Each structure stands twice: as structure tokens, then as C-alpha cells.
Structure 1
């Protein structure tokens, strides 16, 4: 080996060691400023409420303030794209995502690839939804509703919190399962839907329990069905879709954390640990129990596998024609 080759090799080793040392030093000092939790949905919705509870508990664990920042729009894709493409990949900015991150690769035109441009950090939970009608509606169950639509006694419509959101997806899946036609009317967040539902300007809404449970208990709307596999102890008189003739009809709006794909593993592990610790807090557990949530795989590596499987599940539904792309 020549002296020049030996020198080049030593230089490579030296700079590699320097890089490793700098990364370790950076991880030891991380985080160096408040963290930003991007919530890509409207204020007051389930993601906003749950995200803020987790942010408070994370801050106690990680020793820095965790600042929730809303970036709603395009069914969650505006906020997701911001984290994937524009946020500095140093671990200080991360995404609190939901089910639209699984469906958008198949249903929407994206300027980024969530499966490549984002990295899973930690899974949180999956929350069932309620199919609701106005309390003044004549329908007491799914059979009455479907029968009226098929007999052309009503022109049915269903509201959602936006294209490709959970409330949109359940409506489309129920159209396919029941064989009925309903007009989709997207809103900017679930909170905007309820006045029209209560007034009867739209026929039904299927919304995640975090938002729909208070409405159902308040008496202004009536729950026809729940999307879980069994009845919830929170609303024991509300039957499942399966009980009403739709076996296998289940849906959960999941929540989890993602970061820019280029975030160093050392920083990612610190954020992951803080999230998992926050999920054990009484405040977060109480919030999840209050909406009948089921846990997801927590650690990033396990959640990543779960997420990619979910992406493929929705892609299959699109390929089968059970869901249509939305421009």
C-alpha cells in the first residue's frame, strides 16, 4: 500500500470518527430548543385535543416545551408535506398523523411519498367512530336508513371533516357495503359538520369518538352504529355494524408520530422514548379511555411495520374499486 493510499484511508477513518463523535455529542445535547408537534387537522378535532394532551406530558419527560402547531388542509396532507419536505430534519419538528397518512398514497395526488419521506417514531392508538343522524331523523338503525335510500324516499348525503379523512372513508366504505348512493359533502374539520347534521341539511356523519361521543351524549344527534368489533362500554346501547348485517365492517381512526426521514437515529430515539413515556401518564391514558381507544404498536420499528401494512390495505381497497381517488 502506498503512502498516499494509507494517508487517504487514515483520513477517511479520522473523519468518520469525527462524524460519529459529533452525532453522539449532538444526541447528548438534544433537544436544544422547544419541539414542534405539527397537527395537520383543524382546531378542536380529536387530533388537536389528543395531541395537546400528549404534548404536555412529553414536555415533562423530555425537558423542553412541546408546541402543538396546527397546519390543516387537504385531509392532513398539507401538514404532512410540511414535515416531510420543509421541516429541518434535526428531530425538533415531528408530525402527529392520522389515518389519512395511510390512505393518501392511494387516494390523493401528493407531492411527497409518506412511506419514504417520513419515518415512523411511535404509534399511539386507534379510536372507533359513530355513525350519526340528527335527533329529529326518523331512522333508528341502519336497516331503516338503507331501506329509505334504496326506496328513493330520501336523497342521502354524508358529511366528513375533509377528503380522505376517516369520516370520508367510512362513508365511502358503507356506500360500498350497503349498495346505496350518498352524496359526499366535505367540510373543514368535523366541528363544522355538526350544525348541518343537527339541522338535517346532511343525512349522516360518521365521526371519531373523540368528537362524536359528546355530541351523542348531548342528545342533539343519535348514534346508529359504532365501527368497533364490539359494543363500547361508553355507549352500550349502540350496536356495531356487524350486529346490523355488515360482518367485518370495522374501522378505527389511528394516531401516531412521524418525523422527516433524514432525522438522525439518536434524536429519533430520544423523541420516541419521550412519547412512549408520555403514553403511560394518567392524563393520556384517561383521555384514551374516554374515547374507547385501542393501543397500537408503540415503538417506532413496530409501528413502521404496522403503518406500511395499513398503507397496503387501503391500496387494495382502491384497486378493488371500493374507494375512489379524489382530485
Structure 2
């Protein structure tokens, strides 16, 4: 009888931490879904994560690019068409989350369709034109746009992508009607940069790192970087604020999310792994190679940040007419 009493008293429910440690996951290949073209910031960050976690967990992690719809085709595949078992992970960014919801009256996906895991990285956006373009800085370019709005063509992955919101916010700040300019669709940052270099569009707006290959090869030039301080990659390029532009806040990020219904224990295991990864020297070096900055936020903070951003972008979309 005594032994039975002792046994019963020592039997306690497993804590969440213990459950996470005992979780038998992963046991097979994981798919990281990138809803944008290869070579862009989301894709490069995804491959860095895949390399790190495949070694950490001893299971293959493959990156699949499913492009189209401004990131929505790949996002729908990962969040709606796949099982919520932790083996399909969306590598998302503003375009497929906050900006899509803010810019669409009846969005295919909302942020409620994401179970956010962690934010991985951030990147400062920049404004790029052809190398031989007549403008030497963003102030000169903005004056030209004010005088010739109908001549401004710019590339974007979609009507509610990061380029669209950045352009809309900038045009609003200088008093230009967004709808007098023309958006040209692209498949991602590398395609946008190529369109600028080839003279197919006047302006490209993506991260500094995404433009770097064509900047370094002399095919495009940066007029401004949108960040609190000058970017270390191109310290000679002044920020938008230095050139007299206030209130330009659009920034780029990339992070991970699961389909709703994915077990919390799996989300927690990913979140803890990403937190550990952000402190890994080799990971930091890899991020530097792809010209991104560490930007870890845990699941709770990431979820809150995306909600706040969605509210801000919704207001901008309504004011400028981006929302359709």
C-alpha cells in the first residue's frame, strides 16, 4: 500500500518544457516554402535557415520556390493546402502578410491564417535607378517625379507588395497622386533590379542587399536608403531622412509561420531553435553574406508586430487608394 501511495504522489503531469524536450520531431524531411523567386531576400534567408537547422536537427530541409500572386500562391500552399504537422513551413514577409491584407478588400489570406513562429531577419529598403540616369540623389528624383508623375514606372511583385507601399508612402509625402504613376509587375527583387538595369522601369524599391549585385557591377545606382542610419554596405548613400524626407517608415522583414492547427510544441521547438540560431557566429556570417541583418522576434512579439504593421498599412492603403 505504501509503495502505491508513493508512486501516485510522484506522478505529475509533464511540464511544457519537458513535453518540448520529449517531442519526437522532426523525423523526416521539412519543406521551407518561399513564395517568391530565387535570389531575393526571403529566398536567401530561407536557405540560410535550412542549412543551419538541417545540421542542428539531422534532417533534410529543402527550400521550394512557389511564386506568383505577390507571394500569395506559395503562402496558400503552405498555410491552406498542406497538413498542419510542422513539415511545411512558410518563409513569409510583409508582402504575403500585412501588406496583402491591408491592400486587398477581400484578401485571399489574412494574418489570422498564419501561426507565426519567429522573425528571422530585417533589411533596409533602397531606391534604385539606372546608373546613367540623370538624377544624382533622391531629392532631384522626387522633384522630377512631381513634375512628371505619368513618366514614373516602378517594379513590384504585386499591387500590394513592399515596393507598392514604399512608393505610395513616398509619393504621399511629396504630394503626388499614386495613380498617375505606373506599376510594372515583377517576380521578385532580382527581376525588379534587372528591369531597372534594362531600362524597362524607371525605379526599383527593394532591400539594399537585393540590389547589391547590380550596384556593384555598375548597372544600377542607389539614390537613397530608408533607414535610421546610413547602410554600412554603401556609407556614401544618404538616407531618405538626410535628404529631407520625413515619415517614410516602410521596412522589410522575413520570418516563419505555420498553418493554424500546428501543435504549439512544434512552434515552440522552432522558435527556440531560431533564437539559438541568431546567436550562432556562422549564421551571422551567412546573413552578412546575403546582406541582411539579424532581426529575431519570438512568436508572441512577432505576432504583435505584424498586427501593428497591418493596422498602419491598412490606413496607408485606404488613404492612397492601394486597397482594391
Fold conserved (TM > 0.5)?
yes
* Aligned CA distance change for structure 1 residues 154 and 167 (closer, same or farther; 3 Å): closer
DSSP 3-state at the match of 2:37? coil
Residues 1:48 and 2:46 are matched in the alignment: no
CA distance in 1, matches of 2:147, 2:117: 49
Shift of 1:226: 0.3
Shift of 1:154: 7.5
Gaps of 5+ in 2: 1-11
Gaps of 5+ in 1: 1-16
Quick check: 213-222 or 143-152, which moved more? 143-152
- The corresponding residue for 2:128 is 132
* Aligned CA distance change for structure 1 residues 153 and 37 (closer, same or farther; 3 Å): closer
CA distance in 2, matches of 1:322, 1:112: 22
Structure 2 counterparts to residues 202-241 of structure 1, below 5 A? 202-241=201-240
- The corresponding residue for 1:310 is 309
Residues 1:122 and 2:118 are matched in the alignment: yes
- The corresponding residue for 2:59 is 64
DSSP 3-state at the match of 1:169? helix
CA distance in 2, matches of 1:220, 1:49: 21
CA distance in 1, matches of 2:50, 2:93: 16
DSSP 3-state at the match of 1:59? helix
Structure 2 counterparts to residues 149-298 of structure 1, below 5 A? 149-152=145-148, 155-180=151-176, 181-290=180-289, 293-298=292-297
Shift of 1:137: 0.5
- The corresponding residue for 2:108 is 111
Shift of 1:249: 1.4
Residue among 52, 56, 70 paired with 1:75:
70
String of CA shifts for 1:122-178, please: whole Å, max 9, x gaps: 111220111011011010112222222333397121112333222222122222122
Aligned pairs, number: 307
Quick check: 172-181 or 39-48, which moved more? 172-181
* Aligned CA distance change for structure 1 residues 263 and 195 (closer, same or farther; 3 Å): closer
- The corresponding residue for 1:147 is 143
Residues 1:322 and 2:317 are matched in the alignment: no
CA distance in 1, matches of 2:129, 2:161: 19
DSSP 3-state at the match of 2:297? coil
